Amino acid sequence: MSLPVHRKTKRVSFADVPGIVVQIKQDEDGSFNGDHLYSERYGPTYRFFVRGTSITVLCNDEGIKDTFYDKARAFSTYTGHRLALRVVGAVKDDVEVVHLMNDRLFPIVARGFGSTSGMAYLTSISNDNLFSLLSDVEDDLGSSSQDKPLTSFLGRVLYKASSKTLFGDLFPIDSYTDFEIVDENFFLLISPLPFVARHVVQARTRLLKAIGTYIQVAWKDSHVEGAAPVVSEIVSAIKAADLTLTDEAGLFLNFVWGVRSNSVRSASWLFAHLLTNQDAFARVREEIDGILDSQFSGDLGALLNSHHSTLGSHNFPLLDSAIKETLRLAVLYGSLREARRDIEVEYGNGKKVHFGVGDLLLPNLGTLHHDSEAFEDAGTFRVDRYLSADKEGPVFWGFGGGTHVCKGRMFATHELKVLFIICSTMFDMQLVDEAGHVPQGELQPDTRSAGVSRLGAGSDHDAVSLTAIVRNLDECHQQYGTTSPSPIITFGKLAGLHKNVASDGNLAFVDGKG
Ligand code: HEM
């Protein structure tokens, strides 16, 4: 594998983010009412209801840190994970399966993806696969230019590459189309209106069938044929649990989803930010070219064949910072916790909020990531924000933290870097809107709504969102005529579809000030 740098002859235009241009609805006073504003309005802790379930949101940094590090071992993640098992994998016995997943599979994932030997094994194969898939794209392009939908394009490449790396050649690689439908429509599957999700349920059924067949065919002599050792270990643990075949497939699909969903979304945002910010793009390219020239004589193949530590932050501090800054602005807040026993969490000035057994807590990372005191220009993508090697640098919770910190974070960061390095070396890329025009202005995340960004001054575009959540709920509203004055935020929109929406059409809040 050898490719000289500066061989960019093919132009790829990403047709904006895939048709997801949404109108943000405003409150009557003209404000946008995202989750960060909720903390301003309701204080460091407040409660809301989703389909009759009460969830307490915590916005205080010390309280969130204590919950994440959970020294008292008072919280579990089972409720959120059971929901994911039911929704993504249609798992029936979610109580047994959630224990298997947390207690048996996550430690295997942590070792397989987090250890130096695991990383060395996976990254060398993954680099090869990403390079060869993108070379195929380059060959297909010939000397032409093409428009490609950004998220789908990156998603397909990442899905195919990781399937080859992790699951081997027997994995149904063509299942990406169904995977994308399920991933993008995750929140439709939670909806109490089953007819809205019919096409998603059908895609999930096809996906489960394909994955079930894969496990049956590939599982031979206590290992998965052609798969990475970590995957054989995972399937071995699943087999030992003696689940039904459908729950086996459902649990495995959850693993596939965990490996891919966040990475695809993060890759899309990373590309979208760098492609709409010429200065940031040029600086990141300069860093890449510098390392390629000084350490690998301009040979991309040699860089990709080197030990994974070459791509560490000592060589690529700016690309590393770009990824963190992307996650700071784009991360969706899903770190739901359930109290295992009675516990009080402090949330500033000695105040405490009480949780009884089974009560749910949602740390609102958005208030930390968008805190204007901690972050200068909190709503702006600053490629070098995390450049400082200083431990006291800006807070970063993009991979969660503490007991349940992301077990795939090293692999995910490595993969994002490799994806960007290869694409920006092979292709001339630009972001275009649906009409094929290059949009003016930088992409500016809406500081008050997770997963929504708008193009800066001088642009005709109201807002751009990469999150399926927003798009699909927006579609629902259009399709079924349900209206809600609530802005585009996950729970506001969800609540808008349900009966328990408050009289102002927004979330049903109680305990305004904690
Ligand atoms: C850019 C991509 C990714 C992002 C942004 C991300 C983010 C996160 C976050 C925020 C959490 C914490 C959730 C919580 O607090 O409850 C988490 C947990 C987790 N992630 Fe990731 N993740 C990514 C990629 C991956 C990959 C590639 C893998 C698998 C190899 C993975 C495996 C896991 C696992 C197993 C957990 C659960 C840990 C536990 O509960 O102990 N993640 N991830």
pLDDT digits (tens, 9 = 90+) for 248-303: 999 999 999 999 989 998 998 898 889 888 899 999 999 999 999 999 999 999 99
Which residue has the CA at smallest separation from atom 41 of ligand 1? 404
254 lines ligand 1 (CB under 6 A): no
363 lines ligand 1 (CB under 6 A): no
263 lines ligand 1 (CB under 6 A): yes
- What radius of gyration do the chain's Cα atoms show? 22
Average pLDDT over residues 381-393: 82
Least confident of 367-371, 399-403, 485-489: 485-489
The model's confidence at residue 235, banded by pLDDT at 50, 70 and 90, is: very high
**263 Cα to the center of ligand 1, angstroms:** 9
Instruction: Please give the mean pLDDT across all residues of the chain.
Output: 79
Tell me how far apart the alpha carbons of residues 287 and 508 are, in angstroms, rounded to a whole number: 49
**198 Cα to the center of ligand 1, angstroms:** 28
User: Per residue in 80-129, pLDDT tens?
Assistant: 999 999 999 999 989 999 999 999 999 999 999 999 999 999 999 999 99
User: Per residue in 155-169, pLDDT tens?
Assistant: 999 999 999 999 999
Tell me how far apart the alpha carbons of residues 89 and 182 are, in angstroms, rounded to a whole number: 10
pLDDT attached to residue 379: 81
Which residue has the CA at smallest separation from atom 36 of ligand 1? 406
Please tell me whether residue 57 adopts helix, strand or coil conformation.
strand
77 lines ligand 1 (CB under 6 A): yes
Instruction: Determine the residue of 77, 130, 262 to mutate for testing ligand 1's pocket, defined as the one with the most ligand atoms within 8 A of the Cβ atom.
Output: 262
Tell me how far apart the alpha carbons of residues 387 and 316 are, in angstroms, rounded to a whole number: 10
The model's confidence at residue 435, banded by pLDDT at 50, 70 and 90, is: low
Query: C-alpha 303: how far from its chain's center?
Result: 27
Average pLDDT over residues 396-408: 94
327 lines ligand 1 (CB under 6 A): yes
Least confident of 66-70, 99-103, 481-485: 481-485
401 lines ligand 1 (CB under 6 A): no
Instruction: Determine the residue of 409, 418, 420, 467 to mutate for testing ligand 1's pocket, defined as the one with the most ligand atoms within 8 A of the Cβ atom.
Output: 409
* Residue of higher predicted confidence among 271 and 418: 418
Joined together, the tokens standing for residue 205 give: 């059924």
The model's confidence at residue 243, banded by pLDDT at 50, 70 and 90, is: very high
The model's confidence at residue 403, banded by pLDDT at 50, 70 and 90, is: very high
The model's confidence at residue 473, banded by pLDDT at 50, 70 and 90, is: very low
Which residue has the CA at smallest separation from atom 27 of ligand 1? 259
**133 Cα to the center of ligand 1, angstroms:** 25
pLDDT attached to residue 373: 85
Is 59 annotated in a binding site? The answer is no
Order the strands of the 10-15 sheet from edge to edge: 146-148, 10-15, 427-432
Tell me how far apart the alpha carbons of residues 443 and 454 are, in angstroms, rounded to a whole number: 6
pLDDT attached to residue 480: 33
Pick the CATH number of 10-502 from 1.20.1250.20, 3.40.50.2300, 3.30.460.10, 1.10.630.10: 1.10.630.10
- 396, pLDDT greater than 90: yes
Which residue has the CA at smallest separation from atom 16 of ligand 1? 335
Joined together, the tokens standing for residue 109 give: 């994932």
398 lines ligand 1 (CB under 6 A): yes
Residue with tokens 């060395």: 120
- 30, pLDDT greater than 50: no
48 lines ligand 1 (CB under 6 A): no
The residues with which 362 forms a beta bridge, in sequence order, are: 57
pLDDT attached to residue 329: 85
Considering only CA atoms, which of 72, 165, 114 is closest in space to residue 399?
A: 114
pLDDT attached to residue 287: 97
259 lines ligand 1 (CB under 6 A): yes
Residue with tokens 């994974």: 308
Domains of the chain, by residue range, sit at 10-502
Half-sphere exposure of 412 (CA within 13 A, CB side): 23
The residues with which 223 forms a beta bridge, in sequence order, are: 220
268 lines ligand 1 (CB under 6 A): no
pLDDT attached to residue 420: 96
- 321, pLDDT greater than 90: yes
- Exposed / middle / buried, residue 402 (Cβ in 10 Å: 0-12, 13-18, 19+): middle
Percent of the chain with pLDDT over 90: 52
Q: Which amino acid belongs to residue 387?
A: L
> Whats the size of the chain, residue-wise?
514
The model's confidence at residue 488, banded by pLDDT at 50, 70 and 90, is: very low
User: Per residue in 208-223, pLDDT tens?
Assistant: 999 999 999 999 999 9
Least confident of 13-17, 340-344, 415-419, 466-470: 466-470
Average pLDDT over residues 185-208: 84
Which residue has the CA at smallest separation from atom 21 of ligand 1? 406
The residues with which 452 forms a beta bridge, in sequence order, are: 465
